[in-house]
Amino acid sequence: MSTVCFTSFSYSYLPRARVLAETLRLAHPDWPLWAVLVDEPPPGLDASAALAGFDAVLAADGLSIPRFRSWLFKHDLVEACTAVKGAALLHLLGLGFDRVVYFDPDIALFHPLTALDGAYAAASVVLTPHQCAPNETALAIGDNELAALRHGVFNLGFIAVRNDAPGRAFAAWWAARLHDACYDDMANGVFTDQKYCDLAPALFANVAVARDPGWNAASWNISRRRLHFTSDGGIAAGDDRLAFYHFTKHGGAGDTMTERYAGEAHVPHELWRWYGRCLATHAEPAIPPGWWHYATFSDGTPIPRAVRLRYRQRPEVMRRFDDPFANAEDLFASLSLP
């Protein structure tokens, strides 16, 4: 079975994506990794050299999304990098690969995902839940189980889709939902791409839920996963090998969650420090901190999130502007903003 992987990111996330590429190549040297860039390079960056660690690079505006700039304007950085995942999945399935695997750029692999060719070989869609065992304290239930109810049962930092009829049906549905509303809008039941997939096992046949503790270990589930070193120097999660770890919000809220739930178990702390060293090694000095080409209007004026929210609530304005980035004054007038 031919397998292709992809990840979606902006240039500010390049150090993370480089760690993913490096560790994926060690675990699965036969799996190509495509970079889907939802960005334009900053001045002075040699993009070809910066992206040399990826097997292919696909710009988000090459995904056949109609009126791309008008569509993109609706999203902030995280929403935009997430919203293109469905279109990229369809693109790669259309190229004829037997299986497409998505990884968030802040994931690192530590062992081959052998179950994809074993227990899950026949699955059309493979999802990983945030939680695989009940939490026991009120704090952990709030941080982990209730958070999963708000953000989605499954973590879409990983998904594997087979190029068969149920897999393609899922991909088309998910891409359509992400095109229409991939928003951080929990008040209306949406959290980017994740909440939609709560429905996937009910809507589509042959969806597998991978409860392997070594898959998608992260600060939000280490309260119930025992990470430890093995006698041969590897890392295990319970009785299984640690296949991949999700370093969400490293340098931010993930630090707090790791401190809170790793406790005296030293392996999560060691992993967290190791990842910090990797990010430092793969840093790109030519990329300004927080860079995102689509964070500003064409004249360099920052775009407030409130403007993006107002824009996506006004379909008649969206229809009028093919490129809302180009003229802030006209857009503000159309949105009745000062």
For every one of its 338 residues, what pLDDT tens digit does the chain have, with 9 covering 90 and above?
799 999 999 999 999 999 999 999 999 999 999 999 999 999 999 999 999 999 999 999 999 899 999 999 999 999 999 999 999 999 999 999 999 999 999 999 999 999 999 999 999 999 999 999 998 899 999 988 999 999 999 999 999 999 999 999 999 999 999 999 999 999 999 999 999 999 999 999 999 999 999 999 999 999 888 899 998 889 999 889 999 999 999 989 899 999 998 877 899 999 999 999 999 999 999 999 999 999 999 999 999 999 999 999 999 999 999 999 998 888 999 998 76
Specify the pLDDT at position 182: 97
- The string of DSSP codes covering 19-68 is HHHHHHHHH-TTS-EEEEE-S-PPTT--HHHHTTTSSEEEEGGGS--TTH
User: What DSSP character marks residue 96?
Assistant: T
Strands 184-185 and 190-191: antiparallel
Domains and CATH numbers, the chain: 3-281 (3.90.550.10), 296-334 (no CATH)
What is the model's pLDDT at position 338? 63
pLDDT at 52: 96
The whole-number pLDDT of residue 238 equals 87
Distance CA 285, CA 32 (A): 26
Q: The whole model's pTM is what? A: 0.95
**Residue 243 confidence (pLDDT):** 97
E-strand stretches of the chain: 3-9, 33-37, 56-59, 99-103, 107-109, 125-127, 158-162, 184-185, 190-191, 207-209, 217-218, 227-229, 235-237, 240-241, 244-246
Q: Letter for the amino acid at 228? A: H
